[in-house]
């Protein structure tokens, strides 16, 4: 038995309404794509893995980069804060050659 093609928009709208949400109209495919694109930025993925996600979402990598992916302010702030702490605590020498994403600042440096 072939169920046919399901449009994501229609499916999400129906399920959102059935779930009894207070604002089911806020659950939209574009919001879900934006969330996925932003989440993907925080992960260390390969080009192939990113392409799998883009293919799954039904658009091209250019569309993904231009319309859905946004700079994650939180991630950016955390990385800048790390640099400021390293500078302020005068511990630059401890992280020489390390990538910023791999640096963890904890209580032992305070």
- The whole-number average pLDDT for the span 62-78 is 73
pTM: 0.49
Which residues lie below 8 Å from residue 7, measured CB to CB, with a gap of 6+?
Answer: none
Instruction: Report the C-alpha gap between 14 and 102 in whole angstroms.
Output: 43
Out of 43-52, 67-76, 99-108, the most confident range is 43-52
- The whole-number average pLDDT for the span 16-35 is 85
Every domain of the chain and the residues it spans: 8-68, 73-109
Instruction: Report the C-alpha gap between 59 and 71 in whole angstroms.
Output: 19
- The whole-number average pLDDT for the span 33-54 is 83
């Amino acid at each position: 038995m072939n169920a046919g093609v399901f449009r994501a928009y229609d499916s999400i709208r129906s399920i959102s309404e059935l779930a009894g949400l207070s604002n089911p109209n806020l659950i939209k495919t574009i919001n879900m794509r934006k969330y996925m694109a932003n989440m993907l930025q925080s992960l260390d993925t390969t080009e192939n893995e990113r392409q799998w996600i883009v293919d799954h979402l039904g658009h091209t990598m250019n569309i993904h980069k231009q319309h859905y992916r946004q700079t994650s302010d939180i991630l950016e702030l955390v990385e800048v804060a790390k640099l400021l702490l390293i500078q302020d605590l005068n511990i630059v020498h401890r992280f020489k050659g390390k990538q910023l994403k791999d640096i963890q600042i904890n209580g032992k440096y305070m």
